[in-house]
Homo-oligomer: A and B are copies of this chain.
């Protein structure tokens, strides 16, 4: 009986990032079975990336002794503005894509119904369904990685607004006289607290003569900006003062962003995730929560949870599976 169900209704969830592709295989009840990882190689262009997504999915299915014929739906989260109805990625600077027909091309190769959404929306959906088990109505997901994005669950549903762009919290200006952002504005949240912003600040400080253990982690010829979030954790645990200061500042800006967003949206749960939080949860969360409480208006955070997601880097594939599951039933 179980096998029969499995045969028809396997769900695939894909997390498409600027640097890596993660594919997860899930039962119809959305229990995780298996996953597979591949680098994105976005510099080789759209067609190659689509081929690599398909290969990653087939690898994961094969690892679980399954075939595409047993799959009922594939959900995929892509980094950028997405039109979920057309299954297109409208604009994804990290991938160099514009109006990319991801759904159509992926369906052509795999023969599976494909559903596309923004990656942060998908992660918020995964956290809402799998981690929080739909117990709350209004959830705000904040994801700190190479960039910063958000996902909104409003009245129990993914909310993406008029142009399907809602949740673009990374380009909320919070320090108008602050550092330039890649988007052209100044002092965006992303320019103050993303992995990119943290390493740029560290590189600037080192350039100005400050000392840090991080330089010990570098290969010959490597720049500080090439290090990973995990290296920051290592430096912090060895008591590196510069890293401590820079991370504290990023956590404070994140706290201000949480307060801004809580004031605006009135969420019941604020969940933080993404590479930076996954690596530095214990180092950043208390500063984030304290700063948010200091900056939020009276009453706004009463009874509100501000937590780090326990799904870590699995939030994306879980959410993509939820998306596939929901959309194939819709």
Could you tell me which A residues sit within 8 Å of B by CB distance? Answer: 81, 90-91, 136-138, 150, 154-155, 159-169, 171-178, 183-185, 187, 253, 256, 259-261, 263-268, 294-304
Contact = CB atoms under 8 A, between A and B. Distances in A.
Nearest to A154: B154
A295 B266 CA distance: 24
Contacts of A184: 294
Contacts of A172: 172, 260, 263-264
A169 B264 contact: yes
A161 B91 contact: no
Number of copies: 2
Contacts of A177: 175, 177-178
A120 to B, nearest CB: 12
B138 A162 contact: yes
Contact of A299 (B155, B163, B178): B163
Given A163-B299, A165-B299, A174-B176, 14 more contacts: A81-B297, A91-B299, A154-B154, A154-B159, A161-B267, A162-B304, A163-B304, A168-B300, A169-B263, A169-B264, A171-B295, A172-B172, A173-B174, A175-B177
Contacts of A259: 171, 173, 185
Contacts of A154: 154-155, 159
Contacts of A162: 136-138, 266-268, 303-304
A302 B163 contact: yes
Contacts of A176: 174-175, 178, 187, 253, 256
A164 B261 contact: no
A248 to B, nearest CB: 14
A164 to B, nearest CB: 7
A168 B259 CA distance: 10
- Identify the 10 closest CB pairs spanning chains A and B, nearest first: A161-B266, A166-B266, A168-B263, A162-B268, A175-B176, A172-B260, A165-B300, A168-B297, A165-B266, A185-B295
